[in-house]
Amino acid sequence: GAVVSQHPSWVICKSGTSVKIECRSLDFQATTMFWYRQFPKQSLMLMATSNEGSKATYEQGVEKDKFLINHASLTLSTLTVTSAHPEDSSFYICSASDGLALTDTQYFGPGTRLTVL
């Protein structure tokens, strides 16, 4: 089946630094990628929708200047957490799809655990 990878799988950084998380579709072209955030034992909250070659669409309440998303190619989207603070510590998950129909499968990456000290 289709595979989506994320790198790194975990990262620890100091407060004030920026962290980049990559999401790659390994064997299909992903026209759309989604970025989610999940706090421990809570639901996945959609942060933004990333479309190749265009600006990301952010959900209400998500700071676009803090969470920079770039979808440079049909197989790669990146999420950069700028000037990270401890409250940004979370599990970040991307998903990728080659279509937006209801029956098009969305493939989830394994997630990236971010800890900001």
Partner 1 sequence: AQKITQTQPGMFVQEKEAVTLDCTYDTSDPSYGLFWYKQPSSGEMIFLIYQGSYDQQNATEGRYSLNFQKARKSANLVISASQLGDSAMYFCAMREGTGAGKSTFGDGTTLTVKP
Residues that bind partner 1 (CB under 8 A): 32, 34, 41-46, 49, 91, 93, 95, 97, 99-100, 102-106, 108, 110-111, 113
Q: Report which of 93, 88, 111 is spatially closest to residue 36, judged by C-alpha positions.
A: 93
Q: Report which of 91, 57, 92, 99 is spatially closest to residue 74, judged by C-alpha positions.
A: 99
Q: Which is nearer to partner 1, 75 or 90 (CB)?
A: 90
Minimum distance between the CB of residue 16 and partner 1, rounded to whole angstroms? 26
Rounded CA-CA distance 59/45 in Å is 9
Q: Which is nearer to partner 1, 14 or 103 (CB)?
A: 103
